[in-house]
Amino acid sequence: MNWDRRAFVKFAVGAVVGLHASPLIPKLMDDSAIWTQNWSWVPNPEDGGLAFANTVNPATGTGVRVRLIKGRMMGERIIRVEGNPEHPLSQGGVVPADASAVQLLYNDEVRVAAPLVRDKKTGMYREITWQQALDMVGGKLAELAKAGKAHTVVALGDEADSIHGQILSRFMAAYGSPNLAFAPRADDTLALAAWALTGQTDVGFDLMNASYVVSFGTPLLEGFGAPVAVRKAFVEWKKSKGALVQVEPRVSVTASQAGTFLACKPGTEALVALGMAAVMAEQGLADESATSAYGYAEFKAALAKDYNPKKVAELSGVPADKIVAVAKAFAKSPKAVAVCGPGPGGDPGRLADFMAVMALNGLKGNLGKPGGVAARKPLGLKALGEPANVDKPRLDGGKKGMKPANALALAQAALAGQPYKAGMVLVAGGNPAYAGPQAGVMSEFLSSAPFVVAITPLLDETAALADLVLPGTTFLEGWTDCRSSYGSPVSSYGLARPLVKPYAQAKTVGDALLALAAKLGGAVAGALPFASVEEALKAQTAPLGDLAELAKKSYFVQDKPAYGPFAFKTPSGKLEFHSQNLAALTGKNSDGAALPHWEKPAALAHGDGHALAMAAVPSLRSATGFQPLTPHMLKVLDGNTLRHKDELVVEINPKTAAEMHLAEDSMIVVTSAVGSVDARVHLYAGAAPGMVFMPTGLGHGAVSDAYTLGKGGNFYRVAEAAADSLSGLPTWGLTRVTVTKRG
Amino acid sequence: MTTHEHGQEKRSKADWLLFVVGFILASALGFWLTPTILYAQKAQPFQFSHKLHLGEVGDEGCKACHPFRKDGSFAGIPGVEKCKECHSDDTLGDKPEEKVFVEQYVKKGKEVPWLVYAKQPSCVFFSHAAHAENAGIECTQCHGDHGKTETLRTYEYNRLSTYSRDIWGKSLMGLGSPPNRMKMDSCADCHRENGVRDACFVCHK
C-alpha cells in the first residue's frame, strides 16, 4: 500500500462521505433554516397572561381595544391594537394608523429615550437628565423674561382643544407670550363658517339620516372626521339607498362610491355650490327660513349676477344642466345636506368656500333638522379656563387673543425679524419641520431660531433641528384626550390613559410643561395648579363623573344629534347670508365681502401656460399632517404609490401628460415656488387635466427608521401655503407647480 | 503491456482501507465537533431543588408552582410573587442558594432570569391545557422526571437557532433521549398515534 495520489483520493473521499454520515452537515443546515425564525425584526413577545383595555386614538378618533401581555421578565407590553366593538361610533373597526400604533411605541430606532441636547455643529445628540433639561429650558425662559423678551418665545402645538393644548395655552399666556399656534385644522374653518352665518361654532353634518348628500371635495371615505366611524356609518347609509353627489377634480375613492360625480376644475368646488344656490334662489326652491334670513335679497342678487349656472359652468367645467339638475334634486329631497372640508392633505380649507356650502345648507333650510346641519350639544366639560390675554403684539399681527394664530405667519414674521425675532421656540407636539404648514419655511425657522425645544416621542424631522429634544409619549403610554371629530353631528370625548409604563424616560407634553411651570414658579405655576395631566383631566372631566371610570370606558358620546330649532347667535338673531359677524372681524362690509362668495384660488391666479395645479391625494393607508408614517402603512399603500420601490408616483391626466411629452413612469421633478420633489408619472384618466395629484405622508428624512426612511417624497415640501384672505389660516389645497423631466 | 497497465496491476485492495479510515475518522470528527460548535452552555442564575419543593407542596404536585391562569392558559415558570407565598424576606432554610434568591431577587423585587429548558419557539402554539388537562398527559411524559432532581442541569442552547437543546433532544441523530424530544416530528407522531389532527395550523397559528 503506497501513499500516493490515488490512496490520498480514496482517503479524502472516505473522509467526505464520513463527514456527511455524521450529523454535522445536516444538523447545521437544519439549524440554519431555523435561524431565520429569530431575525432581530421578527416580533417575539414574551409569553404571559393576557389582558384587554379600551382606549381612544386621538389622532384618528377611533375607539380601540388594546391587547396586553404580562410577561414574567419584560412586564406588561402591548402586543396588538384592535377595534373596540363597544365604541358607538367606530364599532370595532380600525384604520392602519390605529392598527400599527404599536410599531411606534416599541421602535427603539426612532423613540426618544431621554432628554437629548443636540450639538448644532455636528448634529450629535448627548443624553442629559430631565432635571438638567428643565434647568436648561427654565433658565432660558427666565433669562428672556428678565430681559423683557418673554413675548419673543414662540410655541407650536398640535391640538388646541386637547388637555395638552390647553396646558400649553395657559403656560404661554401666564409666561407672557402671545405667539402660540396649533396645527391648522378644518375644524377651525368650519367653526368660523358656521359662526359667520349662524353664530354657532360647534356644528356637524347629519349624513347618516340624510337621503341626499352633496360633497364638495370632501374625502368622505379617505380621512373625513373620525375615518372609521364615517366608514361604518357610510355602509349603513348606503343600505338606506341614499344618494351621494361628489364634486371634485379627481375620481377619488369617495367619487367612486357616488351616484353622481361632477368633475370640476381645481378649486371650483364651492363655486358649484354657489351655482346650485343660484338655481335654488332663482327657481324659488329656497326654504322659507332662508328667504326670511338676514341679507337674503342681497345674496340672491349676487347669486344671479355672479353665480348663475352658465357662468359657473364656464369657470368650473361642470355643465350647467347638471348643476341645475343636482340643485333641484337637492332642494326637493326631504333630507339633503351639503358637506365641505377638510381638504386633502390636511388642508384646513378656505373660509369663503365653507361659507358657500353652509349657505347652501341655509337655503335648503336643513339647520337643526334630521339629515341636515346639526349643532352639537356641548360636552359639559369644565375647561381649564381661558388663558390670560397678553398685552404684546403677536408676530403675525393678529389681534390680541384672536384665535387661531397662523403658525406659518408666525414663522415668516420671526424669520424676517418683523416686528421682532424669535427668542426661543417650543414645539410641544407635532412635526412642523415635516408637515409644515410649508415644511421648508418651518424648517428654516427652526434652524435659525436661537434655541429650539421639541417635545416629541420620535426622533423626527423637528427633533433633528431642535437644540433640546424632550422624550414625549404616544397615546398608549400617557394621558391624553380628544374632542368631537370634524363633521360629526354628535359631540364626543375620547380619553386615553397610560396602559403601559412610558417608554424609557418619556413624559406627556402636558407633564413636561407642568414640570417646567413648577420650575419657573410665579404666574406660570399659578396658572397651572396641577401636579400632573391626570389631575388636570380630573378637573376637566369632573362633570362627566369619575375620571378612572371614564378612562376605563375611554369615551363619552352624545347618543343622537340635537334636533330642533337652531339657536342663531348672530347680531340679527337669525340666519345671516350677509354675515355681520364676519364683517366685524374683517372690517369689510361692502362689495359682497361679507356674503358667501367664491375667490379664485391664488394657485390658479398667475403662472404661465405650462404650470400645473398640485393637490394631495388623501388616503387612510398613509399618514396625513403630523401623523407619523408606520412601517405597516408602507405595506398597505396603494400599489401605485411606491411602484418603483422608493420613488413617489404622482397622477397626471393622460392628455396633460401627452402635451408635456410625458409617459407612464416618466421620471420628473415637481417644483413649486417653495420646494421640489422627484417623482414618477402615473397616467390616470380620473385626474383633472392640468393637475398633479401627489400622495401625502411619505418622504421622511434624516432620522426615520430603516423602513420609512427615504420612501417617496414629501408633499409638504412642495405644497405652498398661503394665508386665507378671510380666516387668516394657512391653506395649501392647491399649489402652482411646474413639471420637468429628469434622468 | 504498457507501463501504465503494469502499475495498475500492482495496486492492492488494501488501498480501500484508507477510504474506511477516512470515513471513520471524519464521521467521528463530525460527531465530536457538532455538539461542540453547535451548542453553548449557560448556568442557571442559582441552583434549585425540584425534589425539595415538590416534597413541600404535597398533593398539588407540579401545579402548585406551575398553575393554569384563570383564563386557562399555562403560567409556566412562576414569578417571584408566587415564590413569595412561602419565601418572605427571611430565608426558610440554610441553603446558600436560598440566600442568593432572597437577597438578590425577593428583597430587590427582581424576577429570576431562569433559563427554560422546554421553551418552544415563538412560532409554535402549544396549549398545556389541551395536553395536560384535556388529554390527561402526565407532565413527566414530555419533561422527564424534572420533579425528582435536586439540582438544575446546565442549560444548553443552540448557537444558531438560540433554542434550548431539549427541543432537539440530547441525541444528535434525533433519536430522542430523556426528556423526550420536543421537535415538530415528535409532536406530529404523537398526534397521529392518538388520532389528533396534525395539520400545520394546529400548532403554527
Residue type at A713 in one-letter notation: G
> pLDDT: is A28 or A300 the higher one?
A300
Residue by residue, what is the 3-state secondary structure of B147-161?
Answer: HHCCCCCCEEEECCC
Among A14-18, A242-246, A321-325, B91-95, whose mean pLDDT is lowest? B91-95
> pLDDT: is A195 or A645 the higher one?
A195
Mean pLDDT of A49-65: 95
Using alpha carbons, select from A632, A59, A678, A653 the residue that is nearest to residue A346. A59
Query: In this predicted structure, what is the pLDDT of residue B172?
Result: 81
Pairwise CA distance, residues B7 & A85, whole Å: 88
In terms of domains, do A172 and A214 share one? no
**Tens of pLDDT, residue by residue, chain B (205 residues):** 444 545 455 667 778 889 999 999 999 999 999 999 999 999 999 999 999 999 999 888 999 999 998 888 898 999 999 999 888 777 788 889 999 999 999 999 899 999 999 999 888 999 999 999 999 999 998 888 889 999 999 999 999 999 999 988 888 877 766 567 888 988 999 999 999 999 999 999 8
Chain A neighbors of B17, CB-CB under 8 A: 1
Residue A103 lies in a domain: no
A23–B21 CB contact, under 8 Å: no
Chain B neighbors of A10, CB-CB under 8 A: 15-16, 18-19, 22
In terms of domains, do A638 and A721 share one? yes
In terms of domains, do A524 and A417 share one? yes
Residue A110 lies in a domain: no
pLDDT in tens, A407-459: 999 999 999 998 899 999 999 999 999 998 999 999 999 999 999 999 999 99
Share of chain A above pLDDT 70, in %: 98
Query: In this predicted structure, what is the pLDDT of residue A401?
Result: 44
Pairwise CA distance, residues A138 & A564, whole Å: 51
Residue B201 contacts A where some CB pair is shorter than 8 Å: no
B-interface mutation test, from A9, A31, A74, most B Cβ less than 10 A away? A31
In terms of domains, do A172 and A216 share one? no
Answer for the pair A398, A728: CB distance below 8 angstroms, yes or no.
Answer: yes
- With CA atoms as reference, the chain A residue closest to B79 would be A72
Chain B contacts in chain A segment 7-36 (CB below 8 A): 7-8, 10-19, 21-25, 27-28, 31-32, 34-35
pLDDT in tens, A552-572: 999 999 988 999 999 999 999
B77–A72 CB contact, under 8 Å: yes
Residue B96 contacts A where some CB pair is shorter than 8 Å: no
Query: In this predicted structure, what is the pLDDT of residue A405?
Result: 83
CA torsion B182-B188-B189-B193 (nearest 10°) is 130
Among A406-415, A506-515, A583-592, B189-198, whose mean pLDDT is lowest? A583-592
Q: Which residues contact A309 (CB under 8 A, 6 or more apart)?
A: A275, A278, A279, A320, A321, A323, A324
A15–B20 CB contact, under 8 Å: no
Please name the member of A7, A23, A32 whose beta carbon is closest to the beta carbon of B18: A7
Please name the member of A10, A45, A50 whose beta carbon is closest to the beta carbon of B19: A10
B19–A21 CB contact, under 8 Å: no
B161–A25 CB contact, under 8 Å: no
B12–A1 CB contact, under 8 Å: yes
B34–A73 CB contact, under 8 Å: no
Residue A40 contacts B where some CB pair is shorter than 8 Å: no
In terms of domains, do A78 and A227 share one? no
Strands A424-428 and A373-375: unpaired
Residue B167 lies in a domain: yes
Answer for the pair A387, A527: CB distance below 8 angstroms, yes or no.
Answer: yes
* Tally of domains in chain A: 5
A28–B17 CB contact, under 8 Å: no
Query: In this predicted structure, what is the pLDDT of residue A668?
Result: 96
Residue B28 contacts A where some CB pair is shorter than 8 Å: yes
Mean pLDDT of A679-698: 95
Residue B166 lies in a domain: yes
Q: How far is B131 from chain A (nearest CA, A)?
A: 18
Chain B neighbors of A35, CB-CB under 8 A: 160-161
Residue B18 contacts A where some CB pair is shorter than 8 Å: yes
Write the ipTM.
Answer: 0.82
Parent domain of A61: 48-94
Residue A64 lies in a domain: yes
Please state the separation of Cα A364 from the chain's center in Å.
30
Residue A423 lies in a domain: yes
Using alpha carbons, select from A715, A140, A696 the residue that is nearest to residue A423. A140
Q: pTM to 2 decimals?
A: 0.89
Using alpha carbons, select from A133, A63, A137 the residue that is nearest to residue A98. A63
Q: How far is A47 from chain B (nearest CA, A)?
A: 9
CB pairs under 8 A between A and B: 110
Parent domain of B205: 114-205
Interhelix angle A269-282/A320-332, nearest 10 degrees: 70
**Residue where the block lists cell 464520513:** A18
Q: How far is A80 from chain B (nearest CA, A)?
A: 16
Q: How far is A127 from chain B (nearest CA, A)?
A: 27
Residue B66 lies in a domain: no
Residue A197: its H or E element: helix A186-198
Residue A105 lies in a domain: no
Residue B127 contacts A where some CB pair is shorter than 8 Å: no
In terms of domains, do A214 and A266 share one? yes
Cell of A106: 416599541
A49–B19 CB contact, under 8 Å: no
Residue A192 lies in a domain: no
In terms of domains, do A77 and A211 share one? no
pLDDT in tens, A599-617: 998 888 765 555 899 999 9
What CATH number did the domain enclosing A182 receive? Answer: 3.40.50.740
B161–A31 CB contact, under 8 Å: yes
A38–B161 CB contact, under 8 Å: yes
Residue type at A485 in one-letter notation: S
A-interface mutation test, from B71, B73, B156, B161, most A Cβ less than 10 A away? B161
Query: In this predicted structure, what is the pLDDT of residue A343?
Result: 84
Residue A348 has pLDDT above 80, yes or no: yes
Query: In this predicted structure, what is the pLDDT of residue A681?
Result: 96
Residue A92 has pLDDT above 60, yes or no: yes
Q: How far is B129 from chain A (nearest CA, A)?
A: 14
- With CA atoms as reference, the chain A residue closest to B67 would be A49
Q: How far is A77 from chain B (nearest CA, A)?
A: 16
Residue A79 lies in a domain: yes
Residue A19 has pLDDT above 90, yes or no: yes
Residue A369 lies in a domain: yes
CA torsion A214-A215-A217-A219 (nearest 10°) is -150
Residue B162 contacts A where some CB pair is shorter than 8 Å: yes
Chain A neighbors of B28, CB-CB under 8 A: 18, 22
B23–A50 CB contact, under 8 Å: no
Query: In this predicted structure, what is the pLDDT of residue A404?
Result: 66
Query: In this predicted structure, what is the pLDDT of residue B1?
Result: 41
Chain A neighbors of B12, CB-CB under 8 A: 1
pLDDT in tens, A278-326: 999 999 999 999 999 999 999 999 999 999 999 999 999 999 999 999 9
- With CA atoms as reference, the chain B residue closest to A73 would be B111
What CATH number did the domain enclosing A661 receive? Answer: 2.40.40.20
- Of the residues A24, A59, A94, the one at which a domain ends: A94
- With CA atoms as reference, the chain B residue closest to A12 would be B22
In terms of domains, do A304 and A357 share one? yes
* Tally of domains in chain B: 1
Answer for the pair A422, A450: CB distance below 8 angstroms, yes or no.
Answer: yes
B76–A47 CB contact, under 8 Å: yes
A49–B15 CB contact, under 8 Å: no
Residue A721 has pLDDT above 60, yes or no: yes
A616 in helix, strand or coil?
Answer: strand
Residue A261: its H or E element: strand A260-263
Residue A1 contacts B where some CB pair is shorter than 8 Å: yes
CB crowding B136-153: b at 16 or more within 10 Å, else e: eeebeebbbebeeeeebe
DSSP one-letter code for A517: H
Residue A738 has pLDDT above 60, yes or no: yes
Chain A neighbors of B27, CB-CB under 8 A: 18-19, 21-22
Residue by residue, what is the 3-state secondary structure of A321-375?
Answer: HHHHHHHHHHHHCCCEEEEECCCHHHCCCCHHHHHHHHHHHHHHCCECCCCCEEE
Helices (H), B43-169: 50-57, 80-83, 96-101, 128, 139-143, 165-168
- Compute the mean pLDDT over every residue in chain A, rounded to the nearest whole number: 92
A11–B14 CB contact, under 8 Å: no
Residue A330 has pLDDT above 70, yes or no: yes
CB crowding B163-191: b at 16 or more within 10 Å, else e: bbbbbbbeebebebeebbbbbbebbbebe
Residue A194 has pLDDT above 80, yes or no: yes
